């Protein structure tokens, strides 16, 4: 079945370490997104990519980096520069303008905890 | 600016009807979306409105008034499994990214 796979589901990091969250989709979607979710807040956009080899900063890109070398993959690196990285991270994809509404399809999420 | 408001928490009884409201302010408008998210899981798409009126899909319905910047999600015949967060999201204009509300955590009690 088609879908979006995120890994790892849970990750613990020591302060000062970089970590990379994986996101792979086999939906043949062009656009991919990374969101951060904190308790009591809406999803906040970190980075997005509309096409391979191109990506744009979202609202809270500081301390994060991404790459889009393949259509299927959009990994997110949380760097040591991110001041408060403990959060639930969601990867999503869509085909702009298609589907019922061009809605987002989400992965299962990765919960990062900084010790 | 762009903003979406929805109640933080709601409680309802199994078998009842509950309405979750959402108000939005965006620069342009190209659709209002509702997602369901169980704790620790991925949000799943529930409904989409781009024109005024009611869209019905089984036990769930969603309403939109563009002139009022207002939407609601109506859940009928509530079941325990409906206990989840419900996210309201707007797409400001074609090509722009979604704006999400804080989510409404619904607790369904026996």
Under the phi-then-psi rule, with left for phi > 0, alpha for psi from -120 to 50, and beta for the rest, what region is A10? beta
What confidence score (pLDDT) does residue B40 get? 87
Tens-digit pLDDT profile for residues B79-107? 999 999 999 999 887 667 899 999 999 99
* A100 in contact with chain B, both atoms CB, cutoff 8 A: yes
* B97 in contact with chain A, both atoms CB, cutoff 8 A: yes
Mean pLDDT of chain A: 91
Residue A97 has pLDDT above 70, yes or no: no
Main-chain phi, psi angles of B13, to 5 degrees: -100, 145
- As a three-state string, the secondary structure of B55-67 is EEECCEEEEEECC
Q: Are B38 and B84 in contact (CB under 8 A)?
A: yes
Q: To 5 degrees, how large is the angle CA B89–CA B65–CA B67?
A: 105
Q: How far is the alpha carbon of A67 from chain B, nearest alpha carbon, in Å?
A: 19
Q: Are A89 and A63 in contact (CB under 8 A)?
A: no
* B29 in contact with chain A, both atoms CB, cutoff 8 A: no
> C-alpha distances in angstroms, A7 versus A23, A108, B6, B62, B90?
7, 9, 31, 33, 28
Main-chain phi, psi angles of A85, to 5 degrees: -80, -10
What confidence score (pLDDT) does residue B93 get? 75
What confidence score (pLDDT) does residue A100 get? 53
Contact A111 B40 (CB under 8 A): yes
What residues of A are in contact with residue B44 (Cβ under 8 Å)?
106
Q: How far is the alpha carbon of A81 from chain B, nearest alpha carbon, in Å?
A: 25
Pairing type for strands A110-114 and A10-13 reads: parallel
Contact B43 A107 (CB under 8 A): no
CB atoms within 10 A of CB B47: 22
Portion of chain A with pLDDT greater than 90, in percent = 76
């Amino acid at each position: 079945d088609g879908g979006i796979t995120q890994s790892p589901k849970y990750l613990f990091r020591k302060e000062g370490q970089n970590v990379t969250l994986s996101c792979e989709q086999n939906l043949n979607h062009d656009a991919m997104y990374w969101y951060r979710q904190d308790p009591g807040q809406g999803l906040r956009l970190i980075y997005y990519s509309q096409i391979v080899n191109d990506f744009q900063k979202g609202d809270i890109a500081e301390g994060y980096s991404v790459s889009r070398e393949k259509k299927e993959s959009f990994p997110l690196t949380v760097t040591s520069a991110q001041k408060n990285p403990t959060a639930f991270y969601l990867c999503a994809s869509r085909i702009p303008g298609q589907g019922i509404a061009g809605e987002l399809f989400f992965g299962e999420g990765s919960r990062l905890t900084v010790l | 600016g762009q903003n979406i408001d929805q109640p933080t928490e709601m409680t309802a009884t199994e078998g009842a009807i509950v309405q979750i409201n959402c108000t939005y302010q965006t620069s342009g408008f190209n659709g209002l979306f509702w997602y369901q998210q169980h704790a620790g899981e991925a949000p799943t798409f529930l409904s989409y409105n781009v024109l005024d009126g009611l869209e019905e899909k089984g036990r769930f319905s969603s309403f939109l008034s563009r002139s009022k910047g207002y939407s609601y999600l109506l859940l009928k015949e509530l079941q325990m499994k409906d206990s989840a967060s419900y996210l309201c999201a707007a797409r400001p204009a074609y090509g722009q990214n979604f704006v999400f509300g804080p989510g409404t955590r619904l607790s369904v009690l026996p």
